[in-house]
Chain A
């Protein structure tokens, strides 16, 4: 069962002025972090249950806490996966999603099944230096996404095989060879 009370309690403790300003002893800072992490763990179950209930699909939802240093075991290893963006704001937002990957080419489809433009860039040496053995993604997949007010959008990502790449390249060459007619 999901439970938001654990995080609520941890947040309440973290209202203390030492937690707000960082004037606590180190072992107290560690305890604040531990409480907040335990709270988030319990909340993840709650969010997963809510998403399953709303979407009608019981998925093995995964939360990657180290996306800021390009670490996410699922996106690094899976050939196909889904990304759900939940938007807590009361208006539509656009967002550039960055996910750690190992492949060179991906297809991204939006909730309507439309292809979404995407790019794959190498993980920087800056990031490799700070992640210190956590994860081994070589690239980051970037694509623009959007989510409705107080709602969610789910994007599907698939790694493209080399033959897909070759056929896409051949198609591009054919297109460039033909004269274009603007209408």
Chain B
């Protein structure tokens, strides 16, 4: 048995009963329903090929295929549901999991992912992405922020100031995502807020992806002199945990949502704990 949906006052999130993956998001306030599949994939890192000796490394993202491999085709899931929160826990593999979460009153879907330690025993460097696939007709366009401020339009396989001959179908379309990325058609917009800077792209119409973790075995010969192979405290690779906040709204209303929430993420409340019962204090 796997959970079919979670819902609050504003949103309903539906899951595929067979795969357990996110399948559809509905904005109940605006009666918007969008098929959205979300899953984790990995690009196999290039170590150099006939076209170029360039390996993927700290400076360079260079997958050896344009199509990433799924971390899992189906996930094991379970549901936690109470008055304050509804959560679907998705287990993709021993090193990749996610919680899809809706708090009461919250107008966005929270995806809390945990990725790592990335296995490299097979001798392959791996670059892990979270990909959202929708039916939106996006005409090769997607949007990323410029350091949390201006939003810039990005066009696939296009540069505004010169005629581009694209040689890297994926990497050549990756852009910095400091706080948000979105795709839209004439009516609806799907926005993802990140909790840290990541690389992101839309390599196909209606699709949007963010790179959440990478572990590589070769130096890219750009100066750092070592592969991007951070060992972590336990010397088996880093585990990263982060959040993506997903908004589905009309194009007109989306900025009002993601701008305010991004402020709240960037300048999040600071939690300070205390056992209590301390003496009163007055500055001298």
Contact = CB atoms under 8 A, between A and B. Distances in A.
A86 B223 contact: no
Contact of A23 (B84, B104, B224): B224
Interface stretch (B27-35, B156-164, B167-175, B264-272): B264-272
Given A130-B114, A130-B239, A29 B274 contact: no
Interface string A1-42: 000000000000000001001111110010000000000000
B91 interface: yes
A142 B279 CA distance: 28
Given A95-B269, A130-B239, A25 B279 contact: no
Contacts of A26: 226, 229-231
Interface of B is mostly: loop
B273 A74 contact: yes
Given A87-B269, A89-B267, A124-B89, A78 B230 contact: no
Interface in B32-62: 58-59
A59 B271 contact: no
Nearest to A81: B275
Contacts, number: 140
A90 B239 CA distance: 34
Contacts of A130: 114, 239, 241
Interface in B247-261: none
A112 interface: no
Contacts of B281: 52-53, 55-58
A72 B271 CA distance: 12
Interface residues of B, number: 46
Nearest to A87: B269
B274 A84 contact: yes
Contacts of B271: 63-64, 67, 83-85, 97
B221 to A, nearest CB: 12
**For the complex of A and B, 7 pairs with smallest distance between CB atoms:** A58-B281, A59-B278, A59-B274, A126-B97, A84-B272, A85-B269, A119-B82
A63 B273 contact: yes
Given A47-B272, A58-B278, A122-B80, 15 more contacts: A25-B226, A29-B230, A47-B270, A53-B283, A57-B280, A62-B273, A62-B275, A63-B272, A82-B274, A86-B270, A93-B264, A118-B84, A130-B241, A147-B269, A156-B276
A104 interface: no
B225 interface: yes
A24 B224 contact: yes
A64 B271 CA distance: 8
A149 to B, nearest CB: 11
Interface in B72-108: 80, 82-85, 87, 89, 91, 97, 99, 103-105
A96 B84 contact: yes
Interface of A: 18, 21-26, 29, 47-48, 51-53, 55-64, 67-69, 72, 74-75, 78, 80-89, 93-97, 117-119, 121-122, 124, 126-127, 130, 132, 142-145, 147, 156
B89 A126 contact: yes
Contacts of A93: 264, 269
B276 A80 contact: yes
14 contacts: A26-B229, A58-B278, A62-B274, A63-B271, A80-B275, A81-B275, A81-B276, A82-B273, A82-B276, A83-B273, A84-B274, A89-B264, A144-B103, A145-B269
Contacts of B85: 96, 119, 121, 142
B279 A57 contact: yes
A58 B276 CA distance: 9
Contacts of B204: none
A68 B224 contact: no
Nearest to B242: A68
Contacts of B230: 26, 29
Nearest to B78: A124
Contacts of B239: 130
A25 B91 CA distance: 33
Contacts of A63: 271-273
